[in-house]
A and B are shown apart, each in its own frame.
Chain A
Amino acid sequence: MKQEVLEILSNIALNKNVYKMVLKGDTTAVTNCGQFVNIQIEGMYLRRPISVCDYTDNTLTLVYKVVGKGTSAMANMKSGTKLDVLLGLGNGYDLSKAGDKPLLVGGGVGVPPLYNLAKKLRGEGKAVTVILGFNTKDEIFYEDEFKELGCDVTVTTVDGSYGVKGFVTNAMPEAYTHFYTCGPEPMLKALYNATNTSGQFSFEERMGCGFGACMGCSCKTIAGYKRICKDGPVLFKEEILWQK
């Protein structure tokens, strides 16, 4: 973990509620896809944890949905604004388990952390299948970005306004070697039951610190108690214990 001051290069709306922010600065503390950053926002006490969508050694791309005061404030930030950011938080996805034909499943604002993962897997020459689930056509983002990486992309919408009608589980491919997912918990549960290989799930929880100190985001797993922020956010299918 590092604390850095990063400068906003751009901050644009991808649709009505989803924004893409690109930050510039020393981002070397980000070492894996599926990690997150924790951003200090003026007027807010707690930092806001946001998953990393893409990164290089000196840029960071965050794609976030406006859901409350913190993300509303982020959406209004202008280029040139400097942000105090804790980087390199969480474990991220384990690429070594992917096999030749990994499946990536993202739901809504769970889509962003899969982007850099897809980029890395394509870089290793894997045949990557991607399912992106949204409620409706107006909420879709990043379909083209995944296609440009050479992924086989299917979009599902709950109302059928675009792509396959229904949930991500309505678009499952016949064969895949491993799966990676991030999205709302009902989707994660459905996928847990609909998959026949091992896989990795990225979880979300309200956090205090984001770096393992406060025990605010703990969960029970087969491998004992884990902190979503430090021991996660990615858990393997085999260790998950569904609570609710």
Chain B
Amino acid sequence: MAEINTKVTLCGITLDNPVIPASGTFGFGYEFAEIYDINVLGTFSFKGTTKDPRFGNPTPRIAECTAGMINAVGLQNPGVEKVISVELPKLKKCFNKPVMANVSGFSIEEYAYTCEKIDKEEQVGWIEVNVSCPNVHGGGMAFGTSPEGAASVVRAVKAVTTKPIIVKLSPNVTDIVAIAKACEEAGADGISLINTMLGMRIDLNKRTPVIANKMGGFSGPAIFPVAVRMVYQVSHAVKIPVIGMGGVSSAEDVIEMMMAGATAVEVGAANLINPFACRDIINDLPRVMEKYKINSLEEIIGGCK
């Protein structure tokens, strides 16, 4: 067998492998850098950043589900100024590759403001614009649920940035393909999907929602088939690269996502139950590639017949 090649190119930047911890499950990297060398990652998408500091939603913010979990954190982050002055210098000490900045907002102006600031940071390779957070009202997902709303964010952000803009889409929509196409037409350089699915659990003893915010984003292996389907649909409808995510937990899942059409793959909830999940997936990739007779991961992108 020829030498195994796990490299992929995402919007002009080559990754050693397609594995990317998803925003909100990996902080700014340093909690994980305490337990393994995070430079083994393709890159990672750091904690969703907004213009102003946010505490997020009241607790409880977490609920157990069959093969998954619900979270309603609500974009807790120190705000873009502190991210730049405090978090990124700490991140730089443990990660020497381009990092993916994840940005959210409550108005088009906020998205543009935060992206423009983050765009100037040397280590930022891509900006993942989250128009799909289900846990905040009056923002986030509101922009990602219509083609016009998503496109208007993309246009505003593209006008003030130089780095590749990847738009993170919500699955909580009727037609994700139309939204992805609108983003592409508005100038997006890539699409990432899927954000969490809106879900809810009820405490039978208390007869109240488990989550203080009532509803939250459902993630984990249970949503993997939905994610594969949407990645397949979107990647066949747009020419820009697609990052697949949603319940990815193994090297086999990574390959399945890529066959569906993903150029790279984000891993979310799995990091929370196994802090070594991404390292383990990366270590396992060559074995699984050999099993399915794959020499180069780039060759299998969209390879599902």
Q: Which of A's residues lie within 8 Å of B, judged by CB?
A: 1-3, 40, 44-47, 69-70, 86, 205-209, 211-220, 225, 230, 243
Contacts and interface: CB of A to CB of B under 8 A. Distances in A.
The residue in B34, B58, B62, B271 that gathers the most chain A C-beta atoms within 10 A of its C-beta is B62
The residue in A1, A218, A230 that gathers the most chain B C-beta atoms within 10 A of its C-beta is A218
B29 to A, nearest CB: 10
Contacts of A3: 35, 274-276
A214 B73 contact: yes
Given A3-B276, A209-B275, 20 more contacts: A1-B34, A1-B275, A3-B275, A40-B273, A44-B64, A45-B64, A45-B67, A45-B68, A45-B221, A46-B64, A206-B61, A206-B210, A207-B62, A209-B272, A212-B31, A214-B25, A215-B24, A218-B55, A218-B59, A218-B76
Contacts of B63: 206
Given A44-B64, A46-B62, A214 B55 contact: no
Contact of A206 (B62, B66, B76, B276): B62
B220 A215 contact: no
A86 B34 CA distance: 14
Contact of B69 (A208, A211, A219, A225): A208
A229 to B, nearest CB: 10
Nearest to A207: B62
Contact of B273 (A1, A47, A215): A47
B246 to A, nearest CB: 15
Nearest to A209: B272
Nearest to A218: B76
Interface residues of B, number: 36
Contacts of B76: 215, 218, 225
29 contacts: A3-B275, A45-B64, A45-B66, A45-B67, A45-B269, A46-B64, A47-B273, A70-B64, A86-B275, A205-B60, A206-B59, A206-B63, A206-B210, A208-B69, A209-B271, A209-B272, A211-B31, A212-B31, A213-B31, A213-B272, A214-B71, A214-B272, A215-B24, A215-B73, A217-B59, A218-B55, A218-B56, A218-B76, A219-B59
Nearest 5 CB-CB pairings of A with B: A209-B272, A216-B62, A206-B60, A215-B76, A208-B62
Contacts of B31: 211-213, 230
Contacts of B271: 209, 213
B73 A213 contact: no
B32 interface: yes
A214 B67 contact: no
Contacts of B35: 1-3
B71 A208 contact: yes
B275 A211 contact: yes
B276 to A, nearest CB: 7
B60 A46 contact: no
A214 B24 contact: yes
Nearest to A219: B59
Contact of A215 (B32, B56, B210): B56
Interface in B1-45: 24-27, 31-32, 34-35
B237 interface: no
A77 B65 CA distance: 22
Contacts of A86: 275
The residue in A46, A208, A219, A230 that gathers the most chain B C-beta atoms within 10 A of its C-beta is A208
